[in-house]
Amino acid sequence: MFIGLLAPAIVSTVFIMLSGSDLLKKDFKNKMIGFYKVKWLNVIWAVIVFAIVIVCSILLSLLFGQPIDQFSFTESFSFTGVGIAGAFITITLASIIEEVGWKGYCEDSIGNYMNWFWESMIFGVLWSFWHFPLIFISGTYQAGLMVNPLYVINFFVSGIPMGFVITWVYLESDRSILACMIFHFFVNFMQEKIALTPETKCLETIVITVVAILIVMAKKDMFFETRHVGRLLEYNSSQQQ
């Protein structure tokens, strides 16, 4: 698990350092230490939006006979063998390390060739299926989903609309890695600690898809502009000057 978690961050950092591009290295450094770039109001709104998604999902699930005590916190985390403190550290590190790889290189490497709508679609698929090996590791959340094929399918499908949401967070904060780390942490934490049933998480995928559609509609220029295509780093550098 740890090797898999580190892989995107290590590979992307090595690619950047060996690229021979001073502009790429400078951009990576700015994203890593540029805390000032975070638009905190946007991050707060993103967290609130995801909290609303969870509330709406639970309320919708009540119509299908799911328990109302989902409006509570779980006593433990879904993955086993590391303890509560270890689990908390795990989701924190996962949020930090993953985003170094995803936002440090992966999203931009795709976005340089297309608009952010299609980038979000492709990234969502990649991000989702990057978790695939976890279903074979006993004790992980993904392995626990194997009791029902629908739960497994839902997990991988849910990563696609989430790809749009986190791209929105990323771009709204001028491609800030920190903004995505914070949002990613809260998503992981709420998914783990809110007592959602597996059935409700299937409904949650529908709700987050609707939210992703609304975000894209509200931010059409952000998702469909092509001014950056082929010159992402140069374009963003000129925008900041």
Q: Please tell me the distance from the alpha carbon of residue 57 to that of residue 2, in angstroms, as a whole number.
A: 31
Say which range, 56-65, 78-87, 158-167, has the weakest mean pLDDT.
78-87
Average pLDDT for residues 217-225, to the nearest whole number?
A: 96
| Radius of gyration in angstroms for the set of CA atoms belonging to the chain, rounded to a whole number | 18
Q: Which two tokens stand for residue 202?
A: 């299937």
Q: Is the pLDDT of residue 85 over 70?
A: no
Report yes or no on 72 lying in a domain.
Answer: no
Report yes or no on 27 lying in a domain.
Answer: no
At residue 160, the pLDDT reads: 96
207 touches 60 (CB < 8 A): yes
116 touches 171 (CB < 8 A): yes
At residue 241, the pLDDT reads: 54
Task: Place 132 in a pLDDT band, splitting at 50, 70 and 90.
Answer: very high
Q: Count the domains in the chain.
A: 1
Q: Map residue 78 onto helix, strand or coil.
A: coil
No. of helices (H) and no. of strands (E), the chain: 12, 0
99 carries an active-site annotation: no
Report yes or no on 13 lying in a domain.
Answer: no
Active-site residue identified among 99, 131, 172, 192: 131
176-209 residue pLDDT tens: 899 999 999 999 889 888 999 999 999 999 999 9
Residue among 161, 134, 146, 129 nearest 198 (CA): 146
Report yes or no on 53 lying in a domain.
Answer: yes
21-62 residue pLDDT tens: 999 998 988 888 766 678 889 999 999 999 999 999 999 999
The Cα-based distances of 148 to 23, 135, 143, 196, 197 in angstroms read: 47, 12, 11, 16, 13
At residue 92, the pLDDT reads: 85
98 carries an active-site annotation: yes
Residue in this structure with the two tokens 């529908």, named with its chain if needed: 206
Report yes or no on 81 lying in a domain.
Answer: no
Residue in this structure with the two tokens 């499908």, named with its chain if needed: 157
Q: Please tell me the distance from the alpha carbon of residue 194 to that of residue 62, in angstroms, as a whole number.
A: 15
Active-site residue identified among 75, 98, 199, 225: 98
Domain span at residue 143 reads 35-67+91-226
Say which range, 165-174, 217-226, 230-239, has the weakest mean pLDDT.
230-239
Residue in this structure with the two tokens 């299908």, named with its chain if needed: 64
Report yes or no on 80 lying in a domain.
Answer: no
> Phi/psi at 73 (nearest 5 deg)?
-95, 145
Transcribe 168-233 into DSSP letters: HHHHHTTS-HHHHHHHHHHHHHHHHHB---HHHHHHHHHHHHHHHHHHHHHTHHHHH--TTTT-HH
Single-letter amino acid, residue 151: Y
Report yes or no on 22 lying in a domain.
Answer: no
Report yes or no on 160 lying in a domain.
Answer: yes
